[in-house]
Structure 1
Amino acid sequence: MNKTITSTNQQTDSLFVLIKSLSKSEKRQFNLYIGRLGGNIDAKFFALFKVLEKQKTYDEKTIIKTGIVSKQQLSNLKAHLYKQILTSLRLNPVHKNIRIQIREQLDFATVLYLKGLYKQSLKLLDKAKNMALDSEEKNMAYEIIEFEKLIESQYITRSINTRADELTIQAKGISQQNVITSKLSNLSLQLYGILLKKGYVRNDDELKKVNEYFNARLPKYAFDKLGFREKLWLYKANLWHSFLIQDFLQSYKYANKWINLFKEAPKNITLHPVFYLKGVNYLLESLFFIKHYKKLKEEFSFLEKGIENNVIPKNSNTEILMFQYYYTNKLHLHFFEGSFIEGEYLVAIINEKIELYRNLLDNHHIVVFYYKIACLYFGMGKNTECIFYLNKIINSKNLHVAEDLQCFARVLSLIAHYESGLDYHLEMQFKDTYRFLIKMENLQEVQKEFISSIKALGDVYPHQIKNEFKKIYDRLKVFENHPYEKRAFLYLDILSWLESKIQNKTVSQIIQEKFKEYAK
């Protein structure tokens, strides 16, 4: 397990972050690796490693004071140490995934080729090529075939009489598949970029533009000729398109197709664990959006068993994804069931893991957790704790990809302040929230209606409050299934809160009553 890191300043130094990410076994291996080099145990770069290993935060002045290295030489020494650590990690069996194994065979074949041992080189290349094709690493397979062609064209090996034709046909087929994969992956990335830059479609005009953009860039293909990787990117591109246009039923459809690729060939979970985990998360997220509780519970249990039984390979990358996806969807299940109090124990675990992975998590994913924790506390009626976590989002800087989240955090903060009776703070909240939303230029009708309605409550007599809540509820209810406005209710269940005010019940009670209907 990686060591806990608390300071965010250390993220500015790559070497320090790398050293702090090392597990105990990786550090032990690095010590053994240095020992095997002979005569390097007292080398300057190893002395620097020991100094940085002990530091809690990166401190260059302390390093210089040790006398290990001068300030002028420090940059070169750090670069050398960085390279030595990476070399040691590359030798670690834990990190020997299929790509590294293929690359290793290719390196060995290159050495044999340079020594003039062409047949031996071709033999290793054939082995590496089969590994690449079996694991759907077709870019690497193409590179290997091109190397084979180079050897066959330069030297008369007489390995197979029809070798030239065979390699040409193989290269052409893989090249065509790689072109389709490249176009689909480009389209997927471009759609994701649009989502980050402009957000979800908000009207018919934006919907038309996104659909035209998608259809114009979707390559022509014969589905029966697509392999695992091509289908994966096809489903991913369609998934991002469906998210953009807020067609969450389609999101579920393509996320389900994505995961079925792995269920049909479980070996791909081991070969491509990151693709698998991301697909699982999109599937669970889609099921949450379309309120399909039974399927959500079933797929979550499948993920849970996969983690418990070590079906998914563990490394720093997959550990972080498993943490994010497992606890996000664990919270979603509590939101679905209305079992907010039962989910409170998750807060301490999530905060502990955020600190553990602080150097490896981007700020966006951290504040997403803060928002979900705030929603958990709001559901429990603990508004002070809710406001505490919302302030972590509202006061956070450089959240270019989380403006949507900032918006809903501010709206929820208004409600939490209202519930707490913090009148002075509430007036400030109205001004700040309205100013922020106008600046965002992304104000939805639901938000406009809600903010103006809540602000007007200040002028309503106490005996009229319940009736006023009913009016607000009726005005917002019409947007619940609106193609461009429904997403607001996925971030924040305003309707359940309004129902709780009308019926004199807690938010948790209202959601539990709704859950009984979903769970039937």
Structure 2
Amino acid sequence: MPNGSTDPVFQLVKSLTRSEKRHFRLFSGHQGAAEDLKFLRLFDALDGLPAYDEERILRQVPAIRKVQLANLKANLYRQLLGSLRAYHAGQNVDIQLHEQLDYARVLYNKGFYQQALRMLDKTKQQARQLQLPHVALAALDFEKLIEAQYITRSLRGRAEALAAEARAAVQQVAQQHQLSNVALGMYGLYLRVGHARSQADAQGISARFRAALAGVDVSRGGFFERLYYYQAHVWYYTITQDFRACYRYAQKWVDLFEQAPDMQQQQAMLYVKGLHNLLAALYNLLYYSRFVAVLARLEQFAAALSRPTPNLEVLLFQYIYTHKINAVFLEGRFTAGLGLMPALLEKLVLFQPQLDLHRRLVFYYKIASLYFGSGHFHRAIEYLNRIIQYRDVTLREDIQCFARILNLIAHYEAGEDEMLDYQIRSVYRFLGRLNEQQQMQIEIFRFLRTVGQLTPPQLKAAFIDLKNRLLAISANPYERRPFLYLDIISWLESKIEDLPVEQVMQRKFAGLK
């Protein structure tokens, strides 16, 4: 029996807002008396259930037999999608344009060729204005079909004009796809491995990136061509740890939307993603004043939305809370930052069906880091274990690795060092399987293996020695990657000076402002 987390019809019903439910009842009621429509009765039953339960549905709606349930659910699913399509058409210009293509097909099938051509021409012009060449190309293909088969309004040169329009649209669509493929490829690589681990890694990625963009010229490109071009560069420079260049292209991404205010509404998710990547670049550059200004812009945009889609709501939650936590890290206000936890954890549960595993892993790591910085080491271990216990380590290998390193340090801080040697060996083997050992990690392993044998005076000297070794390692740009995930230097300074780590980071933040 399907459960509430996997049954797609139940998930869709439970996701509906009050106004979407009201629209669905009106949308479906025209098909017959509401009491005679079994799928509506099934809808009411599903809407009232806290979790999917077939037996309970059959008891509540005796008119539905078990053998009918699968077909009724399929019918209900189609009806729900049709209702949602109509309800959200006003917010989605691509739905409206495809609807016009459907109308042109209806007119064509009825033999009203001139009317169909007028509808297609209108659709084509709107698609061009909205930077949607694939829709314009679909309209052109249909237009050519009608012009080739029937004597309509064809004038001298009409065939050549249509062919030229089609060639231009095909070229634009092809370049869009080329650029979006490069952007997606870079993003997929980042999800898998994070930042480049060595100069050889960076050189291989650079060669792949340059080859993928060979021959591309966006100087005359449309909105989406430039957007994908900027996206590809943002991910490329993120992977190769060139955060200044990443900042420049993230700013170009945001500027593209700022210069086209209509696109901020039509493609709100892409605009929000641009702000998110700009914030990530600013965070990596420790550019606090600009970071705060952009975060305020993101929150302002979210507050001004009258009816955000569920997708956009999830993205706004994810990005706003991610960067609120990042602001806490920059400021060193870990204890005060715990005030974010009740609302964050509540929303994590609320949005769990829409949050993919990658995003949950990122949140778990940030939450663990927040608890670690505030001295709540057992809570940090709890969230780190949620990452460590995930079996598929091909997703965000970087977070998988550094969660284990931070977990070792959290166990040491929590005084749970009786199993530390075993855990160190386990993590070392794990990193070995991923070919992930870096100098920082090796030095931490060496330190933790001997720390239990040191006297208090020796311990302080060992902390100082480890800090000096790590500072020397961090001078290598490809050994700097671990420090993006774990501010081990601030932790060591807190041990050396016998201060809370957040006090050390607050002192550093004072120097940033």
TM-score tier after normalising by the smaller chain length: over 0.9
Which whole-Å CA distance do the structure 1 matches of 2:336 and 2:313 have between them? Answer: 25
On the 8 A contact 1:446/1:488 being kept in 2, the answer is: yes
Greater mean deviation of Cα atoms: 330-339 or 109-118: 109-118
Determine whether 1:121 maps to 2:116: yes
Task: State the SS of the aligned residue for 1:10.
Answer: coil
* Residue in 1 that maps onto 2:466: 472
* Residue in 1 that maps onto 2:69: 74
Task: Please tell me the residue identity of whatever aligns with 1:48.
Answer: L
Which whole-Å CA distance do the structure 1 matches of 2:163 and 2:475 have between them? Answer: 55
On the 8 A contact 1:450/1:476 being kept in 2, the answer is: no
Greater mean deviation of Cα atoms: 477-486 or 269-278: 477-486
On the 8 A contact 1:235/1:257 being kept in 2, the answer is: yes
Determine whether 1:301 maps to 2:296: yes
How far has the Cα of 1:220 moved from its partner?
1.5
Residues 453-509 of structure 1 deviation map (CA, whole Å, 9 limit, x = unaligned): 122211211111111001100111123242222121111111100011111211111
How far has the Cα of 1:87 moved from its partner?
0.6
Greater mean deviation of Cα atoms: 118-127 or 313-322: 118-127
Which whole-Å CA distance do the structure 2 matches of 1:236 and 1:49 have between them? Answer: 41
On the 8 A contact 1:90/1:96 being kept in 2, the answer is: no
Aligned counterparts, 1:207-218, within 5 A: 207-218=202-213
* Residue in 1 that maps onto 2:6: 12
Residues 247-284 of structure 1 deviation map (CA, whole Å, 9 limit, x = unaligned): 22221121111111001111111111121111111111
Aligned counterparts, 1:56-455, within 5 A: 56-66=50-60, 67-93=62-88, 96-158=91-153, 162-310=157-305, 314-398=308-392, 400-455=394-449
Cα root mean square deviation, aligned: 2.1
How far has the Cα of 1:428 moved from its partner?
4.6
How far has the Cα of 1:392 moved from its partner?
2.4
**Structure 1 residues 71 and 404, CA, compared in 2 at 3 Å: closer, same or farther?**
farther
* Residue in 2 that maps onto 1:52: 46
On the 8 A contact 2:194/2:397 being kept in 1, the answer is: no
Which whole-Å CA distance do the structure 1 matches of 2:178 and 2:431 have between them? Answer: 36
On the 8 A contact 1:46/1:81 being kept in 2, the answer is: yes
How far has the Cα of 1:79 moved from its partner?
1.2
Task: Please tell me the residue identity of whatever aligns with 1:319.
Answer: E
Task: Please tell me the residue identity of whatever aligns with 1:45.
Answer: F
Which whole-Å CA distance do the structure 1 matches of 2:54 and 2:337 have between them? Answer: 43
Greater mean deviation of Cα atoms: 402-411 or 495-504: 402-411
Which whole-Å CA distance do the structure 2 matches of 1:188 and 1:257 have between them? Answer: 15
Which whole-Å CA distance do the structure 1 matches of 2:419 and 2:381 have between them? Answer: 11
On the 8 A contact 2:39/2:72 being kept in 1, the answer is: yes
Q: TM-score, normalized by length of structure 1?
A: 0.93
Task: Please tell me the residue identity of whatever aligns with 2:295.
Answer: F
Which whole-Å CA distance do the structure 2 matches of 1:407 and 1:164 have between them? Answer: 61
Task: Please tell me the residue identity of whatever aligns with 1:109.
Answer: A
**Structure 1 residues 346 and 466, CA, compared in 2 at 3 Å: closer, same or farther?**
same
On the 8 A contact 2:250/2:278 being kept in 1, the answer is: yes
On the 8 A contact 2:13/2:46 being kept in 1, the answer is: yes
**Structure 1 residues 107 and 96, CA, compared in 2 at 3 Å: closer, same or farther?**
farther
Task: State the SS of the aligned residue for 2:167.
Answer: helix
Which whole-Å CA distance do the structure 2 matches of 1:146 and 1:219 have between them? Answer: 29
Percentage identity across paired residues of the two chains: 42
Residues 209-252 of structure 1 deviation map (CA, whole Å, 9 limit, x = unaligned): 21221122214233331111110111111222212222222211
On the 8 A contact 2:198/2:479 being kept in 1, the answer is: no
**Structure 1 residues 14 and 93, CA, compared in 2 at 3 Å: closer, same or farther?**
closer
Which whole-Å CA distance do the structure 1 matches of 2:55 and 2:442 have between them? Answer: 53
On the 8 A contact 1:35/1:41 being kept in 2, the answer is: no
Greater mean deviation of Cα atoms: 220-229 or 151-160: 151-160
Which whole-Å CA distance do the structure 2 matches of 1:434 and 1:26 have between them? Answer: 52
**Structure 1 residues 439 and 72, CA, compared in 2 at 3 Å: closer, same or farther?**
farther
How far has the Cα of 1:433 moved from its partner?
2.6
Task: State the SS of the aligned residue for 1:441.
Answer: coil
Greater mean deviation of Cα atoms: 447-456 or 136-145: 447-456
On the 8 A contact 2:39/2:76 being kept in 1, the answer is: yes
**Structure 1 residues 203 and 93, CA, compared in 2 at 3 Å: closer, same or farther?**
closer
How far has the Cα of 1:196 moved from its partner?
3.5
Task: State the SS of the aligned residue for 1:225.
Answer: coil
The count of aligned residue pairs is: 511
Q: TM-score, normalized by length of structure 2?
A: 0.94
Task: Please tell me the residue identity of whatever aligns with 1:103.
Answer: H
How far has the Cα of 1:95 moved from its partner?
6.1
Which whole-Å CA distance do the structure 1 matches of 2:390 and 2:90 have between them? Answer: 35
Task: Please tell me the residue identity of whatever aligns with 1:391.
Answer: N
**Structure 1 residues 327 and 388, CA, compared in 2 at 3 Å: closer, same or farther?**
same
On the 8 A contact 1:293/1:336 being kept in 2, the answer is: yes
Which whole-Å CA distance do the structure 2 matches of 1:462 and 1:415 have between them? Answer: 18
* Residue in 1 that maps onto 2:476: 482
Which whole-Å CA distance do the structure 1 matches of 2:78 and 2:238 have between them? Answer: 41
Which whole-Å CA distance do the structure 1 matches of 2:98 and 2:279 have between them? Answer: 35
How far has the Cα of 1:82 moved from its partner?
0.5
